[in-house]
Amino acid sequence: MSTVVETEEHRALRAAVAALGQRHGRAHDREALWAEAGKLGYLGVNLPEEYGGGGGGMAELSIVLEELGAAGCPLLMMVVSPAICGTVIARFGTREQKARWLPGLADGTRTMAFGITEPDAGSNSHRITTTARRDGDDWVLTGRKVFISGVDIADATLVVGRTEDARTGKLKPCLFVVPRDTPGFGRRRIDMELDAHEKQFELTLDDVRLPGDALVGEEDAGLLQLFAGLNPERIMTAAFAVGMGRHALARAVAYAGERQVWKTPIGAHQAVAHPLAQSHIELELARLMMQKAAHLYDAGDDIGAGEAANMAKYAAAEACVAAVDRSVHTLGGNGLTREFGLASLITASRVARIAPVSREMILNYVSHQTLGLPKSY
């Protein structure tokens, strides 16, 4: 795929990560790949240099995830640990929080999950019912979360709760670091059809007592801190989807170039070639929007990045689902075999359409935020 809009450093990073992904491949050992990517500095490429990171931003981190995905070995926890949690702590954490968490998040020796989704709140962050109240110098959290990735392998979870504003009495979002073994912090694995290394969990917070320094950032910052993590999440979800789509497309192109049923490879027939060419175009366009979103975010334009990140996530998810579908169809029966590894992507590709926010909510966002149409909810 073309990289003319990227710097020489970005192209070098892309090539190096692609080589790492090719060494590990589709049958990779997740722990070994995570450890090597961390040791090489790829997992923390977006985090500050003074804490062991690469000093880059979402532009660099999205390249890493995209190329690993294109090689068939995406690391889902990259979306959560360095992108969301690392970004929030780097931007809003205290010096002590940064020193405690960022070096480990940067080299991969520590990971952090992110807990925002709730059973009854869906995409409405204003309906979050997990609450945090002061008790002396401590915080006490109570609530539930659902579909939280990788809690069992994460050292802690960055939990979104709500505290009462002393001035208005209204609840406002706040972020808390909850170590995995904190008393009252329970988890139940959700049985998913999706076959992924990172498992999904329902969390219960039953009067979880945390020290005062578990709060990340200012108590009054509210949505600013929350969306500082959500925009990177959307950018990285786009990278995840573009990489997966590229992986599926590459396997289909290779197959179509070799498979002969009559006298020529099936890729010579337009009915096979054109859908694959269409997916290549769609993935390229999605990647361009992802690059724009990452550039805006890294430049500090949170409002512009919000619009672009939502559009990038939407475009990448649609392109990925289409690429996987066309690729499976190109292989016919072989597309459903374990040997070629495409059938599992049918389910996996749908994730980007659903999480972290549905395509319909993105269309709502664009309708009223970009086009100025009345809100429907």
Looking at the fold, whether 22 and 132 belong to one and the same domain comes out as no
The domain total for the chain is 3
Instruction: Pick 221 or 259 by higher pLDDT.
Output: 259
The residue type of 293 is A
- The confidence score (pLDDT) of residue 348 equals 94
Q: Are 231 and 338 members of one domain?
A: yes
Does 163 share its domain with 97? no
Count other Cβ atoms within 10 Å, centred on residue 360. 11
297 and 346 within one domain: yes
Alpha-carbon gap, residue 249 to 268, rounded angstroms: 16
For residue 177, give both structure tokens.
């670091």
- Burial (CB count <10 Å: 0-12, 13-18, 19+), residue 326: buried
Count the neighbouring beta carbons within 10 Å of the beta carbon of residue 138: 12
Nearest Cα to Cα of residue 243 among 69, 3, 64: 69
Compute the mean pLDDT over every residue in the chain, rounded to the nearest whole number.
Answer: 93
Q: Are 69 and 128 found together in one domain? A: no
Residues 101 and 131 in one domain: no
CATH assignment of the domain containing 22: 1.10.540.10
Domain assignment present for residue 296? The answer is: yes
Residue 349 and residue 256 share a domain: yes
Domain boundary residue among 110, 136, 164?
Answer: 110
How many helical (H) and strand (E) elements, i.e. helices and strands, does the chain have?
11, 8
Q: Is residue 184 situated within a structural domain? A: yes
Q: Residue 55: which residues within 8 A CB-CB, separation 6 or more?
A: 47, 48, 49
Strands 156-164 and 112-115: what pairing?
parallel
One domain, residues 177 and 306: no
Cα 301 to Cα 284: distance, rounded to the nearest angstrom? 23
CA distance 224 to 71: 35
- How, if at all, do strands 185-189 and 156-164 pair? unpaired
pLDDT at residue 169, as a whole number: 59
Q: Choose the final residue of a domain: 54, 77, 110.
A: 110
Domain for residue 329, yes or no?
yes
Neighbours of 300 (CB within 10 A): 9
What CATH number corresponds to the domain at position 146? 2.40.110.10
Residue 11 host element (H or E): helix 8-24
- pLDDT given for residue 265 in this prediction: 97
Domain identity same for 328 and 351: yes
* 105/122 same-domain check: no
> At which of 189, 216, 243 does a domain end?
216
- The pLDDT, as a whole number, for residue 122 is 66
The residue among 222 and 286 whose pLDDT is bigger is 286
190-197 contacts: CB < 8 A, separation 24 or more? Answer: 190/146, 190/147, 193/347, 194/347, 194/348, 194/351, 195/344, 195/347, 196/76, 196/348, 197/30, 197/76
135 band by pLDDT with thresholds 50, 70 and 90? very high
State the pLDDT at residue 100: 96
Residue 348: CATH number of its domain: 1.20.140.10
Residue 138 and residue 248 in one domain: no
**Mean per-residue pLDDT for 123-145?**
88
- Whether residue 233 is contained in a domain is answered as yes
Q: Across residues 264-281, what is the average pLDDT?
A: 98
Residue at 301 is within a domain = yes
Mean pLDDT to the nearest integer, 39-52? 98
Within this chain, do residues 313 and 203 fall inside the same structural domain, yes or no?
no
Share of the chain above pLDDT 90, in %: 84
Residue whose pair of structure tokens reads 């709060």 in the numeric block = 215
Confidence label for 3 from pLDDT (cuts 50, 70 and 90): very low
The DSSP 8-state label assigned to residue 340 in this structure reads: T
Peptide linkage before 211 cis (omega within 30 of 0):
no
Please give the pLDDT value at position 294. 97
| Token reading at 127 | 């309906």
- Tell which wins on pLDDT, 234 or 225: 234
Token pair recorded at residue 116: 């925002």
| 30 lies in some domain | yes
**Helix, strand, coil % (nearest 5) of the chain?**
55, 15, 30
Given a cut of 50, is residue 2 above it in pLDDT?
A: no
If pLDDT is split at 50, 70 and 90, which confidence band does 123 have? low
Q: Is residue 376 part of a domain?
A: no
pLDDT of 222 strictly over 80? no
What average pLDDT does range 324-336 have in this prediction? 97
pLDDT recorded at residue 225: 76
Residue 220 clears pLDDT 90, i.e. is over it = no
| Mean pLDDT, range 144-162, rounded to an integer | 95
In which domain, by residue range, is 276 found?
223-370
* Range scoring the smallest mean pLDDT among 96-100, 116-120, 147-151: 116-120
Q: Say how many Å lie between the first and final Cα of the chain, rounded.
A: 40
Return d(Cα 229, Cα 233) in angstroms, integer: 6
- Beta bridge partner(s), residue 139: 134, 210
* Structural domain includes residue 1: no
For residues 28-37, average pLDDT = 94
Q: Is pTM, for the whole model, over 0.85?
A: yes
DSSP strands (E only) in 98-254: 112-115, 131-135, 138-149, 156-164, 171-179, 185-189, 200-210, 215-216
Percentage of the chain lying above the pLDDT 70 cut = 95
